[in-house]
């Protein structure tokens, strides 16, 4: 699933001619990256073996070394290219939801909530959450890669922010959070809910994300009152 792009760039009429050497090599590279995504997700960075990756793609380990400098380079390539592709796919899915909502005059929150449920269940998406966790761990352990991982959330926020901003304006969302912050929070919470549903589906009901988003996008009210609000006259802690 979800690796490299170049597929869509082919001359629309699927040509049955023999592939050129360069094309065949690119295809091998792509297949190896797809296999790497599967195996790294399943076993983790340290737990995955290059032989299993190569074999799962239908090649020998030598092919891996002909296409990548080594395990680390393979992983970083997956982090960079594969993750970007995942972000693009998700951004398109979300854009479709916002378009649909605008077209039918409903709000997009329920559909976004259903997206959480689907992401945590669909077989073809199963690898994304573990991979994201592996990438984060890799970044924490290898400061050199931190910038790269941070940039990925930056990319995602960049794609989502216009939609969030439009929705905030349309709904007259209360001040206190700007569009960037709202996007960061929404994306982080989306991922967190997907992760949580993976290990305990009951703890995240189907429409929880929708209800949280409705609260976050709520129109202005007395929210902005700040911290000097006095509540000293009640007990504060239940038992």
What does the per-residue mask of binding to a copy of itself show for 166-185, with x meaning CB under 8 A?
A: x--xxx--x-xx---x--xx
What residue 109 binds from a copy of itself, DNA, none (CB within 5 to 8 A, per partner kind)? a copy of itself
Place of tokens 């990548």: 68
End-to-end CA distance of the chain: 49
What does the per-residue mask of binding to DNA show for 147-186, with x meaning CB under 7 A?
A: ----------------------------------------
| Contact assessment for residue 173 and residue 217, using Cβ atoms and an 8 Å cutoff | yes
Under rule CB under 8 A, which residues in 105-134 are in contact with a copy of itself?
105-107, 109-110, 129-130, 133-134
- Give the tokens for residue 202: 């009951």
Torsion, CA 197, CA 203, CA 205, CA 207, rounded to 10: -80
Nearest distance from residue 27's CB to a copy of itself, in Å? 30
| Alpha-carbon span 162 to 95, nearest angstrom | 10
What residue 56 binds from DNA, a copy of itself, none (CB within 5 to 8 A, per partner kind)? none
Is the Cβ of residue 25 or residue 198 nearer to DNA in the bound state? 25
Q: Can you tell me which of 14, 16, 17, 18 binds DNA, judged by CB under 7 A?
A: 18
* Other Cβ atoms within 10 Å of 86 Cβ, number: 21
| Alpha-carbon span 156 to 86, nearest angstrom | 10
Piece in contact with DNA (CB under 7 A), picked from 3-11, 60-68, 80-88, 212-220: 60-68
* Other Cβ atoms within 10 Å of 209 Cβ, number: 25
Nearest distance from residue 69's CB to DNA, in Å? 8
| Alpha-carbon span 176 to 128, nearest angstrom | 32
Under rule CB under 8 A, which residues in 16-75 are in contact with a copy of itself?
42-47
């Amino acid at each position: 699933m979800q690796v490299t792009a170049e597929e869509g760039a082919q001359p629309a009429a699927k040509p049955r001619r023999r592939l050129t050497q360069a094309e065949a090599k690119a295809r091998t590279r792509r297949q190896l990256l797809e296999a790497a995504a599967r195996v790294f997700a399943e076993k983790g960075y340290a737990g995955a073996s290059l032989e299993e990756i190569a074999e799962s793609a239908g090649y020998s380990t030598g092919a891996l070394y002909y296409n990548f400098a080594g395990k680390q380079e393979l992983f970083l390539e997956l982090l960079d290219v594969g993750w970007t592709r995942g972000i693009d796919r998700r951004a398109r899915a979300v854009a479709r939801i916002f378009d649909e909502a605008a077209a039918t005059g409903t709000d997009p929150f329920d559909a976004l909530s259903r997206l959480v449920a689907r992401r945590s269940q669909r077989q073809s998406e199963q690898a994304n959450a573990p991979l994201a966790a592996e990438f984060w761990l890799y970044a924490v352990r290898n400061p050199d890669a931190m910038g790269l991982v941070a940039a990925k959330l930056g990319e995602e926020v960049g794609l989502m922010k216009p939609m969030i901003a439009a929705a905030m304006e349309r709904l007259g969302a209360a001040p206190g959070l700007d569009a960037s912050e709202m996007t960061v929070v929404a994306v982080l919470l989306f991922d967190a809910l997907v992760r949580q549903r993976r290990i305990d589906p009951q703890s995240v009901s189907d429409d929880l994300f929708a209800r949280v988003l409705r609260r976050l996008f709520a129109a202005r009210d007395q929210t902005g009152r700040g911290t000097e609000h006095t509540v000293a006259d009640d007990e504060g802690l239940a038992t």
